[in-house]
Amino acid sequence: MTAIGGFKPASRRDGALGVHSVGEFVLTVPEVEKAEHFYGAFGLDARANGDQLSLHTAGDGYRWGRVVPGARKAMHHLSFHCWEEDLPRFRTHVESCGVKLLDPPPGFESNGLWFRDMDGTLVEIRVGVKTQPDSRTPMQLAPTETGIRNAPYRRNASRAVPKRLSHILHFTPDVLGAIRFYERVLGLRLSDRSADLVAFLHAIHGSDHHVMAFAKSNAPGLHHLSWDVPSLNDIGLGAMAMADKGYDRGWGFGRHVLGSNYFHYVRDPWGSYCEYSSDMDYVPGTMDWEGREHPPEDGFFLWGPNPPPDFIHNYEAGPA
Ligand SMILES: [Fe+2]
C-alpha cells in the first residue's frame, strides 16, 4: 500500500482510464455483533461504532470495510479508488457508457460517482489511495536454524494478521456480462476465466491477478472476501485459530490455479467466506496480461481437499 505511506507515488499506467483498487466494501447483516466476533477472530481490527462495525487491518489501520445493520446479509455497496485527475474523466466516461449516475445513499455522502452495476449492485468510484501493491507481494519464509526446535509451542502460536484485502468474489447471474461491465465502465481487465462460470479481473495500474472476480449463480451475492497474509504458516495458523473459535467450516489448505495463490477459506456466519491468501500472481501496470479461457476442471485448484458440496452456493439467493 505504497500510497498510504506517502513516501513514493504509486504506480500508474499513463493515459488509460481505470480504477486502481478496491477501496472499501460495505455489507449489511442482521446481527452486527456476529460480524464483530467473526472478523475480529479472523485477525482484523473490528471496531464497533454506534450500530456499525468498521474493519481495519491491524498493522496500518486502513479501513477496508464497514458492516451495517440490515434485514439480511448483502453487499450494500462497493467503493473503487481512482486517481484524482481521473475522476472528471470517469464522470464523462460512465455516463457515455449509458450508466446513470445516482445520488449517494443516505449515510454515505461523498464526492464519488455512484451507479449500479449490471446486476443492480451499488458501486462508487471515488478518489482514494492505491490499496493494491505496486509489485508482487513475495511470500515470507521464516528463517530456521539447525540444532534447535523452530516451531513454538501451540499455546505460544502467533496470530494470523491479514495485511490487506486482496480481492472480492461476487456472484452474478451473468459472468460474461460482468466482464463486459467492469471492463468497459471501471476499466478493469480480464485476467482469466472458465467458460461462463467464473472470471477474474485485475486493475490496470498494477494489481494482484484479481481484485474482483465473479462466479455464476442465479442472483448477486458475496462469495468471499480475500485477505493477504505473508506466509503459508499464517494460512495454517489462521485456519487453526478460527476452528478453535468455532469457525471450523470452510475449505483448504490448497492452491488455486488461476491466480496461483495458496488458500484457506473460513465460512462466515452467513454462508459466505473469508479467505486467507498468500503468494498470488501479480499483473504489473507495465504489461498487457492476456486474458485467457481455461477448462474448469483444470483451473479451479491445483491441489487440496475437495471443496464442501455447497462451496459455490449463493446463500443470499436462498437455501442450498
Ligand atoms: Fe479468492
Domain residues of the chain, as ranges?
16-132+162-317
- Give residue 22 CA to ligand 1 midpoint distance, Å: 14
pLDDT at 3 over 50: no
| Closest listed residue to residue 295, CA positions, set 197, 212, 214 | 197
- Banded model confidence at residue 1, pLDDT cuts 50, 70, 90: low
- Give residue 169 CA to ligand 1 midpoint distance, Å: 7
- Give residue 85 CA to ligand 1 midpoint distance, Å: 31
- Give residue 34 CA to ligand 1 midpoint distance, Å: 22
- Give residue 125 CA to ligand 1 midpoint distance, Å: 22
Query: How do residues 257-296 score in pLDDT, each as one tens digit?
Result: 999 999 999 999 999 999 999 999 999 999 999 999 999 9
Residue 190 has a pLDDT of 98
- pLDDT > 70: what percent of the chain? 97
- Give residue 201 CA to ligand 1 midpoint distance, Å: 12
Average pLDDT over residues 93-109: 97
Q: What is the DSSP letter of 214?
A: E
Domain 16-132+162-317 sits in CATH 3.10.180.10: yes
**Grid coordinates representing 7?**
513516501
pLDDT at 205 over 80: yes
- Give residue 103 CA to ligand 1 midpoint distance, Å: 31
CA atoms within 13 A on the CB side of 43: 26
* Range from 5-9, 183-187, 196-200 carrying the lowest mean pLDDT: 5-9
What radius of gyration, in Å, describes the C-alpha atoms of the chain?
A: 19
Residue 242 has a pLDDT of 98
Residues 6+ positions from 221 with CB-CB distance below 8 Å: 74, 75, 170, 171, 272, 314, 315, 316, 317
- Give residue 88 CA to ligand 1 midpoint distance, Å: 32
- Give residue 198 CA to ligand 1 midpoint distance, Å: 11
- Give residue 275 CA to ligand 1 midpoint distance, Å: 6
pLDDT at 247 over 70: yes
Q: Ligand 1 is a single-atom ion; what residues have CB below 5 A from it? A: 226, 275
- Banded model confidence at residue 13, pLDDT cuts 50, 70, 90: confident
Average predicted confidence (pLDDT) for the chain: 95
- Banded model confidence at residue 5, pLDDT cuts 50, 70, 90: very low
Query: How do residues 121-155 score in pLDDT, each as one tens digit?
Result: 999 999 999 999 999 988 988 889 999 999 999 99
| Closest listed residue to residue 182, CA positions, set 272, 63, 291, 276 | 291
- Give residue 300 CA to ligand 1 midpoint distance, Å: 11
